[in-house]
A and B are shown apart, each in its own frame.
Chain A
Amino acid sequence: MSAVRSSLAAVLLLAAAACRRESRPALRLWALGREGEVVAQLLPDLERRQPGLRVRVQQIPWSAAHEKLLTAFVGGAMPDVLQVGNTWLPELVALGALEPLDDRLARSLAVRAEDYFPGILAATVIDGVTYGVPWYVDTRLLFYRTDLLAAAGFARPPTTWAGWLAAMPRMQAAAGPGTWAILLPLREWEAPVILGMQWGAALLRDGDRYGDFESPAFRAAFAFYLDLFHRGLAPVGDTAVANIYQDFARGTFSVYLTGPWNLGEFARRLPAALAERWSTTPLPAPDGTAPGTSLAGGSSLVVARTSPRKDDAWALVEYLAEPAQQVRFYRLTGDLPARRSAWEAAGLPADARARAFWLQLQHVRPTPKIPEWERIASAIARYGEAAIRGEMDIDGALEALDRDVDRVLEKRRWLLAQPER
């Protein structure tokens, strides 16, 4: 019995010792996806500049990021600084998870509001208060195989969807049998939402209180989206493409609706033979008013309200917002800087592939800034998949989507109807 007792004590001591080693004060940063893998390389300089300041990075995959953030908040386990997708900011603000940054911004020398793309800084302002500093900008446009487009008989990428509808079957034929033209992953909501915005749909109505997915505008956009699959231009199902980079190189698909991180990924992962055979182009428009609208996305750096070291946290944010660091970050990830001076310093406006993003960023719209957006987006993806697979017809899918969205927004309606306290 005493042996049991002493081993129990030993285990507890070990655990306690391990815990104590944990509580050395290093600043905690959570970064997502590829950014998380890379940002650690930027930190040694900061630690050299400010001895005593140490930063620990935890990388979180995008697929689990949203739930991990919320779980951490509810559990009281938030880090000090976080990278947050801009579409999630309203939700975190509604939770009271983020520290307002207006005062620090006003006093900051490193972070100058004028240097940011208009509308990008605005994405971090909720109800008149700034909660984040944009880290990089994100929007979606088309990556495509230049050689296959040429083989299809097009010297330049089309600027209308009609043009692309003509080009894609020919690109498919040029790539060979058993291929597709464009990759539109079923799990993602960006494509139908972007098309909806291009067709002029509002997505939500009544001050974002109800879903508006049965409107004629959205229905037309959705029908176009489904059509891409039903024509055999886009693969149905995410297992058709095992490895995006290998399959793009092989011509399994020749057009991809994706974002700037793939500038870096394509450069890294495509075989050398493909290096000159791809490019980017802004989104086409339904009519002739190219470029078509795209999503105003990106991530911002935020400071958690529960952080015990907000000054250090802000120092980290300021550091990563410096133009020099933004340029370094771009070179490591391909993520486009949020600051215009960084763009120029990196020579981006002159870069052929980045230029498309420069153009597109002048034509972007944000998603509705409500806490429920992530949930609504996943409902869009879900009903999109059901309609693509023919399990629901388009009107049934949109009606069900509106019904779901209305239910999700029920609490928001109730809160907005409450008298001001």
Chain B
Amino acid sequence: MQRLRMNPAWVLLAPALGTIGVFFFLPVVAALALSFTDFDVYTVGDPARLRFVGLANYRHLLAEPRFWTALGNTTYFVLVGGSLSVVVALGAALLVEARTVRLKALFRTVFLLPVVTTLVAVAVVWRFLYQPRFGLLNALLGHIGLPPIDWLGDPRWAMPALILLAVWKNFGFDTLIFAAGLQSIPPQLDEAARLDGAGAWQRLRRVTLPLLAPTLAFVAVITMIGYFQLFAEPYVMTQGGPADRTLSVALLMYEEGFRWWNLGTGSAIAFVLFAIVLGLTLLELRLRRAASAPGRGGMR
């Protein structure tokens, strides 16, 4: 009887690695290759109609105004939406974790509810909430005396509308992480500061926030990475409109790739998106390393 030479670890690893290899890594490499060709609808009909074009797809992309529009829109969404999400989440976490607040678990559950609900369902509901004449939002605005806004139809308000939706949907997740970060701060530090006569705002600035810095950096960057892949909201609610104001990079990639079957261009866009996300991730790693470096008083 021959002894199995193979390390049993590989038996355990092989199925998962195999699946990920074939259905993820392989397509990613193929996407890179595709981005150097002009694979399109004609090629689908006849594989001979394919040309290797080198970096032409990327060059055309950088010269294409619509790509910059998408990138600008996405950046706008990431910066404004991301900051808003983080600020609201931080505020909520600080309030919930305050010593004197009750029903902490209940609040946490309520805030997490939008996070777990299906994005498409949320987008469908909010599309009605944003309706200029019959939507709840404009009704609320009317109650406080403000004029109605054409949320999804006015080019100035379409992206803010999506941002508001994203903040509502995601802040609970960040609140949870912030709350955990706050819980890990030893209460003695805050007590000591209070006994020294520091006011609430001072304690926040001098004690809490610096200790929270690594968590803050982490949350900020993972929020940005997630927001950069904006797709379902504009797809369901605005189709990139009005006037391309909610066209995101991922939506542009979907259009090029799955609407017009320009796989060459679509793959190029996907890789640009990847490069941006990679850059942000490296940034997060660097920030985290810096924030928890010794000598800065950073705590876990």
Report A's interface with B, CB cutoff 8 A.
66-67, 70-71, 73-74, 91, 94-97, 186-187, 237-240, 242, 371, 375, 382, 385-386, 389, 391, 400, 407, 411, 414-415
Question: What number of B residues sit within 8 Å (CB to CB) of A?
Answer: 29
A67–B259 contact, CB under 8 A?
yes
Q: Say which residue of B38, B42, B242 sits within 8 Å of A237 (CB atoms).
A: B242
State how many angstroms separate the Cβ of B230 from the closest Cβ of chain A.
Answer: 19
Give the residues in chain A near B60, CB-CB below 8 Å. 407
Instruction: State A400–B239 Cα separation when bound (angstroms).
Output: 21
User: Cβ of B243 and Cβ of A385 under 8 Å apart?
Assistant: yes
Q: Which of B73-81, B94-102, B128-136, B192-200 contacts A (4 or more CB under 8 A)?
A: B128-136
Whole-angstrom CA separation of A97 from B259 in the bound complex: 16
B241 in the interface, Cβ–Cβ < 8 Å? yes
Q: Are B243 and A242 in contact (CB under 8 A)?
A: no
The reply to whether A71 and B258 contact each other, CB–CB distance below 8 Å, is yes
Q: How far is the CA of A242 from the CA of B131 in the complex (A)?
A: 8
Are A240 and B243 in contact (CB-based, < 8 A)?
no
CB distance B133 to A187 under 8 Å? no
B 35-67 contacts with A by CB, 8 A: 38, 40-42, 44-46, 49, 51, 60, 65
Which chain A residue shows the least CB distance to B45?
A: A95
**Which of B2-10, B150-158, B285-293 sits within the interface?**
B150-158
- The interface residues of chain B lying within 8 Å CB-to-CB of A411 are 38, 40, 42, 49
Contacts A242-B133, A389-B243 given; does A415 touch B259 at CB 8 Å: no
The answer to the question of B260 belonging to the interface, with a C-beta cut-off of 8 Å to chain A, is yes
Which residues in B have their C-beta under 8 angstroms from that of A414? 51
CB pair B155–A389 under 8 Å, yes or no, is yes
Going nearest first, the 10 A-B pairs with the smallest beta carbon separation are A239-B153, A95-B45, A237-B153, A67-B259, A96-B45, A385-B243, A239-B150, A74-B44, A389-B243, A70-B261
22 residue pairs bridging A and B, Cβ less than 8 Å apart: A67-B258, A73-B44, A94-B41, A94-B45, A95-B41, A96-B45, A97-B45, A187-B239, A187-B241, A237-B154, A239-B131, A239-B150, A240-B153, A242-B131, A371-B42, A382-B244, A385-B242, A386-B244, A400-B65, A407-B60, A411-B38, A411-B40
Neighbouring B residues of A391 by C-beta, 8 Å: 243
Known: A187-B241, A385-B242. A91 touches B133 (CB 8 A): no
In the complex the two chains form, what is the Cα distance from A317 to B41 in whole Å? 27
Per-residue CB contact flags for chain B residues 174-208 toward chain A (1 = under 8 Å, else 0) read 00000000000000000000000000000000000
In whole angstroms, what is the CA distance A222 to B241 when docked? 21
Contact B134 A242 (CB under 8 A): yes
Report B234-278 CB contacts with A as 1/0, cut-off 8 Å.
000001011110000000000000111100000000000000000
Nearest-Cβ distance from residue A55 to partner chain B, whole angstroms: 28
Question: Which residue of A is nearest B242, CB measured?
Answer: A237
Whether A415 pairs with B49 at a CB distance below 8 angstroms is yes
Instruction: Determine the chain A residues whose CB is within 8 A of the CB of B38 once the complex forms.
Output: 411
A239→B45 contact, CB < 8 A: no
B132 x A70 contact (CB < 8 A): no
CB distance from A306 to the nearest CB of B (A): 13
Nearest B residue to A374, CB-CB: B260
Chain B's closest residue to A407 (CB) is B60
Q: How far, in Å, is B138 (CB) from chain A's closest CB?
A: 11
Inter-chain contacts of A400 with B (CB < 8 A): 65
CB-defined contacts of A407 to chain B, threshold 8 Å:
60
For B60, the closest partner residue in chain A by CB is A407
Per the bound structure, the CA–CA distance linking A407 and B51 in Å amounts to 16
Using known A-B contacts A91-B41, A385-B242, determine if residue A96 contacts B153 with beta carbons closer than 8 Å.
Answer: no
Docked Cα-Cα span, A382 to B244, in Å, equals 8
Q: Would you give the shortest CB distance from A240 to chain B, in whole angstroms?
A: 7
A222 to chain B minimum Cβ distance, whole angstroms, is 17
Q: Which residues of B contact A371 (CB under 8 A)?
A: 41-42
Q: Which residue of B lies closest to A412 (CB)?
A: B42
Measured CA separation A94–B41 after assembly (Å): 8
CB–CB A70/B41 < 8 A? yes
> What is the distance, in angstroms, from B253's C-beta to the closest C-beta of chain A?
14
A288 CA / B132 CA spacing, docked (Å): 41
Partner of A415, one of B42, B154, B242, B261: B42
**A66-B259 CB under 8 A given contacts A371-B41, A411-B38:** yes
How far is A31 from B48 in the complex, measured between Cα atoms in Å? 32
Chain A residues contacting B40 (CB-CB under 8 Å) are 411
